[in-house]
């Protein structure tokens, strides 16, 4: 299966021969997607993974971050944008994870969308699925709009400042 994905990029019509007709496979996929089967499966598996770690199945805290990435030349211009702060033309991906790192919400947008706009979408999405979230940590790319929006949802959004002497990603010790 892995070579199939690497070779084709997963177009439905190129499914391996041991699968049913691509139209049938897509019809099942679309029906399950529309019924929320995949979302429910993700929710259930996240809860099971959290319990296995000795945690409550419902998360109460989260971490939000974004990353702007360059896109290839064949990506439609309407789905791209320029991240002025990073001087990147492409897309921005945003994720909201629980504290063990399980993805609770995700979005891919044009890179021109601000961190606040992406963060607001993510926290809305996560709060709808996981209403118990009451704390979220963000980096300094997020501003007051994110903090205020979080407060309106009952989420304490805390901006975490990085250590200037440590290059790249680092873990900030709990207080």
- Token pair, residue 81, equals 């944008």
The three-point CA angle 12-36-79 to 5° equals 55
How many Cβ atoms sit within 10 Å of the Cβ of residue 123? 24
Q: What does the alpha-carbon distance between residue 98 and residue 146 come to, in Å, rounded to a whole number?
A: 18
Its pTM surpasses 0.75: yes
Q: What does the alpha-carbon distance between residue 128 and residue 125 come to, in Å, rounded to a whole number?
A: 5
How many Cβ atoms sit within 10 Å of the Cβ of residue 81? 19
| pLDDT tens-digit series, residues 112-125 | 888 999 999 999 99
Residue (of 69, 94, 65, 92) closest to 160 by Cα position: 65
Q: How confident is the model at residue 90 (pLDDT cuts 50, 70, 90)?
A: confident
The answer to whether 100 touches 53, Cβ cutoff 8 Å, is yes
Residue in this structure with the two tokens 């439905």, named with its chain if needed = 12
| pLDDT tens-digit series, residues 36-80 | 999 999 999 999 999 999 999 999 999 999 988 887 766 666 677
pLDDT, residue 42, reads 93
| pLDDT tens-digit series, residues 134-165 | 999 998 888 899 999 999 999 999 998 877 67
Domains of the chain (ranges; CATH) run 58-159 (3.30.420.10)
Segments of 99-175 assigned E as strands:
103-110, 135-138, 156-159
Q: How confident is the model at residue 129 (pLDDT cuts 50, 70, 90)?
A: very high
| pLDDT tens-digit series, residues 10-35 | 678 888 889 999 899 999 999 999 99
The three-point CA angle 30-31-32 to 5° equals 90
């Amino acid at each position: 299966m892995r070579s199939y994905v690497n070779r084709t990029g997963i177009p439905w019509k190129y499914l391996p021969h041991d699968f049913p007709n691509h139209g049938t496979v897509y019809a099942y996929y679309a029906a399950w997607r529309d019924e929320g089967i995949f979302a429910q499966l993700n929710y259930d598996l996240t809860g099971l993974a959290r319990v296995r770690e000795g945690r409550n199945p419902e998360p109460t805290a989260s971490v939000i971050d974004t990353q702007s990435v360059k896109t290839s030349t064949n990506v439609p211009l309407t789905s791209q944008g320029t991240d002025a702060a990073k001087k990147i033309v492409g897309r921005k991906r945003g994720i909201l994870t629980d504290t063990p790192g399980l993805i609770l919400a995700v979005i891919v947008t044009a890179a021109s969308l601000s961190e606040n706009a992406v963060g607001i979408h993510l926290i809305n999405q996560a709060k709808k699925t996981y209403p118990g979230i009451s704390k979220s940590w963000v980096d300094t790319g997020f501003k007051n709009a994110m903090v205020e929006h979080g407060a309106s949802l009952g989420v304490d959004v805390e901006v975490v400042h990085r250590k200037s002497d440590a290059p790249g990603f680092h873990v900030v010790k709990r207080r």
